[in-house]
Amino acid sequence: MINTGIILNSSGNLEMEDAELIRLCQEGDMSAFESIFRKHQNRVYNVTYRMMGNQDDAMDMTQDIFVKAYQKIGKFNFKSSFSTWIYRIAVNHCIDELRKRKRNGQSVPLEEAITKADETTPEKQAVLNDRQQNVWKAINSLKDKDRSIIILRDIEGLSYKEISKVMKCSMGRVKSRIHEARQKLKKILEEQTELWNEI
């Protein structure tokens, strides 16, 4: 089968593959960059939201990350996928920003967790909301590096191989870091609340 570089997206519209779009971007095509942006903006926005803890910072950080990606796209060498590349820029940018703010004594405002309503009774929904608030607070109290690995694995659902590319470390290191971060998160949650109650 000939690879035309074009696939159908979920709404049935013609959509180019990332590699083809990146080639066009490297030739200076801004509309190709807009397509890439629209495909990946939710991923980047969610990572920055979890890393920074509020939507205002997430919006600013997402813009900065894509500006950086646009400036560097000429150097993209197609050895990794665009999503791995943009995740790496996003995580590094957030960690740098958080470090900078800590150094300057600036605090990062933490919003209330956004919860989803999918329980049948108000009582069950209230318990679920409480759990999600606790998990949100616990994730945000982790160190930046532990938080980033939990976000990439448990929220974004990246494989260990993908995380090793994003973090530029070995699979063995990813395995131990995920386990350490989860153990820390579990400890915080156990101290905070009775998480294991049945709904």
Partner 1 sequence: MRCDEFSKNLSAFLDNELPLEEHKKMELHIASCETCHKEAEELKVMVNIVANTPRLEAPTQLWEMTHKKIIEEAEIPKHFRLPNWSFVPVAAAVFALMLFFASNYIFFHQDESGEIPVAYYIQEHVATQSEYSLSIEPVSELTTMTQTEEDYTQLNDNISELELLMEVHYGIDATNGS
* Among residues 61, 86, 135, 152, the one that binds partner 1 under rule CB under 8 A: 135
Applying the rule CB under 8 A, the residues between 18 and 37 that interact with partner 1 are: 30, 34, 37
Separation of alpha carbons 46 and 52, rounded Å: 10
Say whether residue 46 binds partner 1 (CB under 8 A): yes
Q: Which is nearer to partner 1, 34 or 123 (CB)?
A: 34
Q: Which stretch binds partner 1 (CB under 8 A): 13-21, 86-94, 119-127, 171-179?
A: 171-179
Say whether residue 84 binds partner 1 (CB under 8 A): no
The 3-state secondary structure of the chain, one letter per residue: CCCCCEEECCCCCEEECHHHHHHHHHCCCHHHHHHHHHHHHHHHHHHHHHHHCCHHHHHHHHHHHHHHHHHHHHHCCCCCCHHHHHHHHHHHHHHHHHHHHHHCCCCCCCCCCCCCCCCCCHHHHHHHHHHHHHHHHHHHCCCHHHHHHHHHHHHCCCCHHHHHHHHCCCHHHHHHHHHHHHHHHHHHHHHHCCCCCCC
Q: Which is nearer to partner 1, 4 or 179 (CB)?
A: 179
Q: Which stretch binds partner 1 (CB under 8 A): 14-22, 40-48, 86-94, 119-127?
A: 40-48
* Among residues 61, 98, 136, 140, the one that binds partner 1 under rule CB under 8 A: 136
Can you name the residues that pair with 8 across neighbouring β-strands? Answer: 14
Shortest spacing between CB 60 and partner 1, in angstroms:
9
Q: Which is nearer to partner 1, 4 or 42 (CB)?
A: 42
Say whether residue 76 binds partner 1 (CB under 8 A): no
What are the tokens at 142?
Answer: 């982790």
Instruction: Name the residues that contact partner 1, by CB under 8 A.
Output: 30, 34, 37-38, 41-42, 44-46, 49, 55, 58-59, 62-64, 66-67, 70-71, 113-116, 131-132, 135-136, 139, 150, 153-155, 157, 159-160, 175-176, 178-179, 182, 185-186, 189, 195-196
